[in-house]
Structure 1
Amino acid sequence: MKDVNHSQQGGMQMPRSNARKQKVRSTAVLISVVSLLATTACTQSSAPADSGTPAPSGKPAASEPANSGPVTFKVLYDYNVDPQGLNLQENEYNKFIKEKTGVEIKLDSPGSAGYDDKLNVLMASGSYPDAFAQGKREIILKYAKDDLLTDLTPYINDTAKYPNIKKYMPADAWLPVTDGGKVWAFPYNRPDGLSQVVYINKDWLKNLNLQIPKTIDEFYTVMKAFTENDPDQNGKKDTFGLLASNTLGNGGRMFQAAFDAETYKIRDGQVLPPEISSEYKDYLKFLNKLVSEKIMDPEFPTFSGAIFQQKLKTLKYGAFSSFWHYPSGLEVPKDVMDHYVAVNLPLHKDGSASKFSYPNLNRHYIAIPKTTKNIDKFMKMLDWAVSPEGMKFSFLGVPGFNYKEDNGKIEVLKQLAPIHWSFSLVRSGQLTDDILKYIGVVYPKEAVDNLVMAKNIGQVDNLQASLPYYPDLANFNLGKIVDEFTIKSILGNTDIDKSWDDYVKRWRSAGGDQVIKFWTDWYNKEGKNTVKQ
């Protein structure tokens, strides 16, 4: 179920996913394939006299003096992995970046708890960091409206000085932090941001002589058989056709996509969220049917992420949707996942292919206060970070230290530090053959194949990603209205047909109409020129 305040990223992952949808996020191991970024605070040292802020012409200011040395930038960052004793300033990763770009990144983190509050204090006091990471696009856009941030558009458009940014960054990555035609932060765009696939128990299919389902009806038939026909052949009626998490981000979401109930749409000249659409109503009625027939475990509202994985380990569930990397054995034992195979989503009712929809693929954003010196140098470092060489570093680390390559074969020499990827600050989101090769150093072929499938059955909801910052939205509590109705409907505690109109009226009167008007006015004024529908 989705909260209409989709400001993420955050999954996996990005504006943040909705309140009920589980965040899409990969595990950091060995070579941190899908890790989170890191950060640091405060002002900058060794800055040349040239500020590097955009010149009046709208182009970046002239480059720093030719004799300028390495420049240090302090970046405030909320990294959520243990650095395991790594010196955040003196290390091989920072040394490599400095050799390549002339920039040293000094990370500083006040810790995940209270990170936003700490950042707000710094920004309000004028003690600005040189740059900072922030996963919530609404905070970025608020700072932009307060005239605290640098517009990155001139740098992005200067392809002569920064050749890699436009070449490798997906155009939709900028949408969540674009306002008034200006870009207010640089995204960490995840190559594995399209992260979910559908899993089905292949042993149960074989035991019951069933084929892999393709349509919604076929999935229903197979899941019903998984529930009633003793698929594990233990002589007991103790299995379920579908496993879903409490957010429905795992399991339930596969049918939200199949019913086309995940994306924002333009209808009758208005920008409308999926949660008040007829498709969402049909999706709720389908899940209610599954629960009423015990095909879907009715205790799903208690299945947090950890409990969801515990339930999966029991091998009592026939189908679910979740992350592409599950076959790696890093979150779920490999001997459990050996029973499952990844399959395509159920088709839409009209027979067309359905896709998981994501608000964007950005893990976080790097924003630069207007007071930062030598922005030109910092942007050159980010330009390198999204280049093929920079992305190789982001995944594999330092050549000759972390790995060596011989005739295209990569050999790991030294395990990567858990936050090595944080020093380059951003990623391009490109899932190229080379990136898949780097990912394959850590993950088994089955998982990498799943990632390719996830890319093919996923999409960014560009309309949702582009919606402008609306300060009053958080006060309306619209997500709570959606979540409560969703759970009640699926569990059968309300008649969906009889209560639907009242639910929509409640949502609209609680501020939904104001939000729709705000979004629609924006779309008619500028959104239709930038959003691909």
Structure 2
Amino acid sequence: MKNDKKLKMILLLTLSLSAITACSGQGNDKANTPASTEDAKNDAAAPDPFGKYAEPVTVTEVLGFNPPEDSRTPKGITPEQNAYFKDLKEMMNIDVKYKWTVPSGQYEQKFALAMASGDLPDILELDPKNFEKLKKQDMLADLSEAYEQYASPTLKKYMESDGGFAMKTYSSDGKQLAIPAFEDPFLSTQLLWIRKDWLDHLNLQAPKTIDELEKVAEAFVKNDPDQNSKDDTYGISLQKTLFFWGFDVRGLFNGFGAYPSIGDAQTAWLKDGDDKLKAGLIQPEVKTVLGKLQSWYQNGILNKEFALKDENKAVEDITAGRVGLVFGEWWYPNWPLNLNVDNDPKAEWIAVQIPGLDGPGKSLVPKIRAGKVFAVNKKFKNPEAAIKMINFYIEMGNKQYLEKNKAENGYVYNWFNPRIYNPAQIDTIYTEVNKTMDAKLTEIELDDENYKNVADVFKAGTDYLAGNTANASKGVNWGQYYSRAAKEGGWGTTRKIKETQAFVNNEFYGLPTITQVEKGAQLDKLMQESFTKIIMGAPIDEFDKFVASWKSLGGDQITQEVNEWYSKQPKN
């Protein structure tokens, strides 16, 4: 950003906004001070999505964070030191200050306390339930004007790619109360990740059925799959939160034809006849899976201490080579499987469709994937700053920043908020990288906001296939390539599942109902406690008691509310 003037012109040309070029790129944000009266007139007609504030604007945030995904990130870096913030300051004169940061596993509890005390930051990352709570409390700013005036053409293109459906979902009484980070629903598809080198050591094939999965898992426990002559491995990864954002057992349940949750404590809703929905959480198939998990716990296929493990402990087990089977989405090679590959050069992971009862099973996939949204505290005086920060993040993916915006330079993308992706980004990466590789080209022929992501994966893939570790470790190169572009990898396998329609939809895609907001946490706690006790040896009939309690404590009311919503939706 040393040549601020030159950078400004690049941005203006990229946006192709004639009105902005006419005013020499001077932005007239509410807090911007134009250089002259004439500039003010021009700027009023065309606010600059990348306009630099004349005076610094401080934005407060909070953050629940995971470790950087790229091992090239400088050791010891903290979220406050994220290199994105320096560029944000130089480009827009925005200072980000954290009220607090915590590891992701502590975020939900910490944020609940912040909401209860009213001590909220300026920019809010919210799940649907917290969005509903703050909307009812009239705590959210109307972003309609800020979005209309300051959203970059690229951001608007993303938000309109679904016909404006997601944006409309988070509006109320004509007010746009949040910007949804919606993505391809199939990013939620569950896969089974397997240590292929362990399969090879034991002369086993990748499992296609639950029975075959059980045999592989048992062999991974008893037959020394890592060939170190130690009894130090177990079969299937599991952590204490059974239905989470990762390292859980949604995929296992799906293989049995059970669809209790879409993750993060959100109950799944399935068709019940032609005109009703039923809660997947309380169906008989769930009881069957719990019985199987109980037997696996007793036989050592599951780690005996799973109920004490959070996601970080689960990652430690994977990284250290203690477990060879883990259910999860397309991104696992990018983290944490890449860490295992770097720790053990012989480690080889593959992705397969989840095993089912009689053959490959069907994963649960939401109809809409918008797990988080970005909103603004009504008290904040510069709501447009949130929109401009989204523009900034998208812009940093453009070609001119490729050499600068790297992990080794301190850029940690998953610590920057608010960030919005191209809803079709993952498929764009897959398509462009494979098109380039299949044509045996040496450069990506792409010149838009997707360039950096595509070029990074292409570079990682070519380096991995060539065995080149001059730029990054084997694990980093493999992780980026195998998650996003390898035809047999994470997204490649997911695309095949989509093409063969080997999935079941979660039919509820509305905002949380009144009772879900009020009773959801209580019901989730009931589920976690009941299911964990059963897995660890409580009578299987405890499931029936759970169902009765769930229904009486709010589940029946939620079912009624969900079906009231469903009755108003168009049917295929």
TM-score range, shorter chain: 0.5 to 0.7
Q: Counterpart of 2:210? A: 216
Of stretches 458-467 and 422-431 in structure 1, the one that deviates more from structure 2 is 458-467
The 5 A counterparts of 1:151-190 are 163-165=153-155, 167-169=157-159, 171=162, 174=167, 177=170, 183-189=176-182
The alpha carbon displacement at 1:480 in A equals 1.9
Q: Counterpart of 1:415? A: 409
Work out whether 1:226 is the aligned partner of 2:237: no
How many Å separate the matches in 2 of 1:266 and 1:154? Answer: 39
How many Å separate the matches in 2 of 1:519 and 1:67? Answer: 42
Maintained 8 Å contact 1:150/1:369: yes
The alpha carbon displacement at 1:490 in A equals 1.8
The counterpart of 2:551, out of the listed 478, 493, 508, is 508
Q: Which amino acid aligns with 2:217?
A: M
Q: Counterpart of 2:73? A: none
The alpha carbon displacement at 1:276 in A equals 0.5
Structure 2 unaligned spans of 5+: 1-28, 35-41, 66-77, 103-109, 262-267, 430-450, 461-471
Maintained 8 Å contact 2:192/2:353: yes
Maintained 8 Å contact 1:185/1:365: yes
User: Residue 397 and residue 475 in structure 1: after superposition, are their counterparts in 2 closer, same or farther (change >3 A)?
Assistant: farther
Q: Counterpart of 1:297? A: 303
Q: Secondary structure at the match of 1:109?
A: strand
Maintained 8 Å contact 2:363/2:504: no
Q: Counterpart of 2:277? A: 271
Work out whether 1:140 is the aligned partner of 2:135: no
How many Å separate the matches in 1 of 2:323 and 2:387? Answer: 50
Q: Counterpart of 1:437? A: 455
User: Residue 297 and residue 319 in structure 1: after superposition, are their counterparts in 2 closer, same or farther (change >3 A)?
Assistant: same
Q: Which amino acid aligns with 1:212?
A: A
The 5 A counterparts of 1:449-464 are 449-451=482-484, 453-455=489-491, 456=494, 463-464=507-508
Specify which structure has the bigger relative contact order, considering alpha-carbon pairs within 8 angstroms and separated by 6 or more residues: 1
How many Å separate the matches in 1 of 2:341 and 2:385? Answer: 42
What is the TM-score of this pair, normalised by structure 2?
0.63
Q: Secondary structure at the match of 2:397?
A: helix
The alpha carbon displacement at 1:209 in A equals 1.5
Q: Secondary structure at the match of 2:100?
A: coil
Deviations 1:471-521 (A, max 9, x none): 6644461112211221122223212xx443332111101111111112221
Work out whether 1:64 is the aligned partner of 2:48: no
Maintained 8 Å contact 2:234/2:302: yes
Aligned residues: 445
The alpha carbon displacement at 1:122 in A equals 6.1
Deviations 1:343-362 (A, max 9, x none): 21324446465236579755
Q: Counterpart of 2:31? A: 46
Q: Counterpart of 1:55? A: none
How many Å separate the matches in 2 of 1:284 and 1:413? Answer: 42
Q: Secondary structure at the match of 2:206?
A: coil
The 5 A counterparts of 1:344-355 are 344-349=352-357, 351=359, 353-355=361-363
Q: Which amino acid aligns with 1:523?
A: Y
How many Å separate the matches in 1 of 2:248 and 2:64? Answer: 26
How many Å separate the matches in 2 of 1:329 and 1:301? Answer: 22
Structure 1 unaligned spans of 5+: 1-43, 50-61, 99-103, 404-411
How many Å separate the matches in 1 of 2:303 and 2:417? Answer: 43
Q: Secondary structure at the match of 1:325?
A: helix
The alpha carbon displacement at 1:175 in A equals 8.1
The alpha carbon displacement at 1:214 in A equals 1.8
How many Å separate the matches in 2 of 1:312 and 1:328? Answer: 7
User: Residue 473 and residue 350 in structure 1: after superposition, are their counterparts in 2 closer, same or farther (change >3 A)?
Assistant: farther
Work out whether 1:468 is the aligned partner of 2:512: yes
The counterpart of 1:259, out of the listed 251, 256, 263, is 256
Q: Which amino acid aligns with 2:61?
A: Y
User: Residue 494 and residue 419 in structure 1: after superposition, are their counterparts in 2 closer, same or farther (change >3 A)?
Assistant: same
How many Å separate the matches in 2 of 1:352 and 1:317? Answer: 22
Q: Counterpart of 1:30? A: none
The alpha carbon displacement at 1:415 in A equals 0.5
Of stretches 420-429 and 272-281 in structure 1, the one that deviates more from structure 2 is 420-429
Q: Which amino acid aligns with 1:482?
A: M
Maintained 8 Å contact 2:483/2:490: yes
Q: Which amino acid aligns with 1:298?
A: K
User: Residue 336 and residue 253 in structure 1: after superposition, are their counterparts in 2 closer, same or farther (change >3 A)?
Assistant: farther
Deviations 1:27-65 (A, max 9, x none): xxxxxxxxxxxxxxxxx962699xxxxxxxxxxxx9834
User: Residue 472 and residue 284 in structure 1: after superposition, are their counterparts in 2 closer, same or farther (change >3 A)?
Assistant: closer
Q: Which amino acid aligns with 2:539?
A: T
Q: Secondary structure at the match of 2:60?
A: strand
User: Residue 146 and residue 324 in structure 1: after superposition, are their counterparts in 2 closer, same or farther (change >3 A)?
Assistant: same
Q: Secondary structure at the match of 2:421?
A: coil
